[in-house]
Amino acid sequence: MANSGQKVVLITGCSSGIGLRIAVTLAKDEKKRYHVIATMRDLRKKDKLVEAAGDAYGKTLMLLPLDVCSDDSVKQCINNVKDRHIDILINNAGVGLLGPVESISIEEMKRVFETNFFGVVRMIKEVMPDMKKRRSGHIMVMSSVMGLQGVVFNDVYTASKFAMEGFCESMAVQLMKFNIRLSMIEPGPVHTEFETKMMEDVAKMEYPGADADTIRYFKDVYLPSSIDIFEAMGQMPDDIAKCIKKVIESNSPRFRNLTNSLYTPIVALKYADETGGLSVNTFYNLLFNFGPLMHITMSILKCLTCSCLRRRTI
């Protein structure tokens, strides 16, 4: 139970990766300003979180089961919070999907949207009425630079993040009237077990329905380039957690928060040309015409850019 003066923070998707680090970072706040409710679908996967939380577990951090894809689970979780009082909601749960779109079933696409889009919508719908009554609250959504700029072979994942960006941009306007803040967190590549496993798996998979050239472009061009970018520009989950803590503690939190300053010029390409040609042609040339040059550039960047700059948060 939260102590007087503590803010109640509910976080989705805390079994590993970014969600785990957010929960631990806030629970271990030196001033003990947060009472963290860490959630996950299966509490049998709690061991990593409990170990990382240490003495904070059972004091400033508690666990609740939550499946963001289930209306009943969402309602039950919020009802299990004292007085349904949540000061800060951090929507972190998400799934990825990578590969040629011809080989991806509609059911797989729906699964991504069910978690990445409708899962967030369910959570906001459940906590928003209580926040409106109190005229206070902060809703945070884990988006991505792919919610701002499309990336080849990430078509469906990108679409789910674009949808969430549009939804939140619309919601932010009405929530301001109720003194509720809404913030988007937009990381680039982040080194997690989930990302590593996904990259390993997709390299071995077959892609029925996709032509041979597309499969070759995906495996021989896109995947090596993606690995280069991860190694040169990737952040760690702790970097994202620190960024979120800064946004929470800001007197005037921004709506959009890019966590990696190296991505600012990439995103700016899209807004520099209203026709869209500049960003589309730039990414096409980088991937298909200047692939070897990009590999060299990423290698140089990895060597020259110190970790504090490469992982710098806002």
Q: Are strands 88-91 and 137-142 parallel, antiparallel or unpaired?
A: parallel
Residue in the structure block whose two tokens are 């709506």: 255
Question: Does 22 count as an annotated binding residue?
Answer: yes
Q: What's the order of all strands across the beta sheet hosting 256-258?
A: 61-65, 34-40, 7-11, 88-91, 137-142, 180-186, 256-258
Question: What dihedral do alpha carbons 68, 74, 259, 282 form, nearest 10°?
Answer: 40
Question: Does 229 count as an annotated binding residue?
Answer: no
Question: Does 300 count as an annotated binding residue?
Answer: no
Q: What angle do CA 101, 105, 111 make, to 5 degrees?
A: 105
Question: Does 7 count as an annotated binding residue?
Answer: no
Alpha-helical runs (H) found in the chain? 17-27, 47-53, 71-79, 106-113, 119-134, 155-176, 193-204, 212-216, 223-233, 237-249, 264-272, 277-284, 291-304, 307-310
Q: What are phi and psi of 38, to 5 degrees?
A: -90, 130
What is the distance between the alpha carbons of residues 168 and 148, in angstroms, rounded to a whole number?
A: 13
Question: Does 13 count as an annotated binding residue?
Answer: yes
Question: Does 245 count as an annotated binding residue?
Answer: no
In the residue annotation, 157 being an active-site residue is answered as yes
Question: Does 33 count as an annotated binding residue?
Answer: yes
Question: Does 38 count as an annotated binding residue?
Answer: yes
Question: Does 11 count as an annotated binding residue?
Answer: no
Question: Does 152 count as an annotated binding residue?
Answer: no
Question: Does 23 count as an annotated binding residue?
Answer: yes
Question: Does 226 count as an annotated binding residue?
Answer: no
Count the residues in the chain: 314
What is the distance between the alpha carbons of residues 223 and 242, in angstroms, rounded to a whole number?
A: 29
Question: Does 270 count as an annotated binding residue?
Answer: no
Question: Does 17 count as an annotated binding residue?
Answer: yes
For the record, the structure tokens of 49 come out as 């979180």
Radius of gyration of the chain (CA): 20
Q: Which of 57, 157, 217, 222 is catalytic?
A: 157
Question: Does 53 count as an annotated binding residue?
Answer: no
Distance of CA 290 to the CA centre of its chain: 29
Question: Does 222 count as an annotated binding residue?
Answer: no
Question: Does 29 count as an annotated binding residue?
Answer: yes
Question: Does 122 count as an annotated binding residue?
Answer: no
Return the exposure string of 202-211: e unless at least 16 CB atoms fall within 10 Å of the residue's CB, then b.
Answer: beeeebeebe
Q: Are strands 34-40 and 61-65 parallel, antiparallel or unpaired?
A: parallel
- Known catalytic residues? 157
- Annotated binding-site residue numbers: 13-41, 67, 144, 161
- Annotated binding-site residue numbers for NADP(+): 13-41, 67, 161
- Annotated binding-site residue numbers for substrate: 144
